[in-house]
Structure 1
């Protein structure tokens, strides 16, 4: 039995004991699970409640045990950067380096992301970077629908407090979440979309660029489009610019 198969067996047993159902039962109810960013699902409020605050969300994320991912994580990854920004960057989930350090995009893909942002004069510390799920899925597998459903509520609350004008999504899963589609990232990239009054710009995940050099040119075109959007919104008139 491989390590992944062993983890899945342990996960299934735990799900049965704690949640009262096995993984396949979660999958069978996938259609009834809210895993998207649709206005009709009341995904976030433009006016968060008075008792809502940044530190409260952070504390809940760090101590969260609402889905199976908490069992295999080392550290939950809340996000990093400023909550006073018009730009958010959202990936799918933490990787091994992020799981160890508790910060998003700190491995090789994160280093490339930093360079990509610098190329369009954006300081990482002046924007907010996070993921849809806050705990690393085992073996870097895709997040399951029920995991996204539970964990994305934290993301929606972050969005409600930050109230960004633009969200840059990294990769297929993040794009699918915000745009409510099963289309691949290759078809979605190259355009901007508006959802809930927020401009969504989907691009390839930095890890995909590390695997395939040919994707770097279209990614650069997408970054230039992002810069044009931000320029029109006045983003570069403040100290978010990377000089």
Structure 2
């Protein structure tokens, strides 16, 4: 399967210079999301990773490769998914994680209102805890079932990077993707 850079969703006017948290002082740019901003499925990751090299040349990072390959394996693609992040910029050095995540949640809430997804999938504990509003939430306990979160049927799974680092997670990761695709196709 060949992976490619999915279309990046333009940052809403005025938010490209967001100053709500300390990440404003270290970021290269704000990254709002990618894929189809009108998709039925919202895919939530913790933060954007490396999207371009030091010269600004875009590339597909390991997280996105693993995500895109899983989506393709279950018959989903860019048109079906809107990928976004709890944090809207890539952290470069240490930061106050909880303060920044809390600040960025207003942006995610705006996206939910704009995108109005029918389903959501959260990748990794940070995305799960932020989306669920529960610092104790964890993928290991919550995966394998649907949850109603923010009015959206939501499934959780491991972060694609965790799957890359621990291939033993791939089977359960793919179970979660298959369940997402099943529910998407059933119209539930």
Give the CA RMSD over aligned residues. Answer: 2.5
- Deviation (angstroms), 1:180: 3.0
How much has 1:121 moved relative to structure 2?
0.8
Matches within 5 A, 1:36-115: 58-97=12-51, 106-115=60-69
Deviation at 1:142, TM superposition (A): 8.1
Describe the shift of the 1:61–1:199 C-alpha distance in structure 2 as closer, same or farther (beyond 3 A).
Answer: same
* Greater share of residues in helix: 1
Normalising by structure 1, report the TM-score. Answer: 0.66
- Alpha-carbon distance change, 125 to 169 in structure 1, aligned in 2, over 3 angstroms: same
Larger-Rg structure: 1
Q: What is the alpha-carbon distance in structure 2 between the residues aligned to residue 81 and residue 58 of structure 1?
A: 16
Which residue of 1 is the match for residue 4 of structure 2?
A: none
Distance in 2 between the 1:106 and 1:59 partners? 26
Structure 1 residues 167 and 99: alpha-carbon distance in aligned structure 2, compared to 1, 3 A threshold: farther
For the structure 1 residues 223 and 79, does the alpha-carbon distance in structure 2 shift closer, same or farther, using more than 3 Å as the test? same
Higher share of residues assigned strand: 2
Unaligned runs of 5+ in 2: 1-8
Task: Identify the residue that residue 147 of structure 1 maps to in structure 2.
Answer: 100
TM-score (normalizing by structure 2): 0.84
Query: What is aligned with 2:6?
Result: none
Q: How far off its partner does 1:83 sit? A: 2.1
The separation in 1 between residues aligned to 2:177 and 2:91, in whole angstroms, is 28
Shift of 1:97: 2.9
- Describe the shift of the 1:147–1:99 C-alpha distance in structure 2 as closer, same or farther (beyond 3 A): farther
Give 1:137's match in structure 2, choosing from 79, 91, 110. Answer: 91
Q: Equivalent of 2:81, from 127, 131, 141?
A: 127
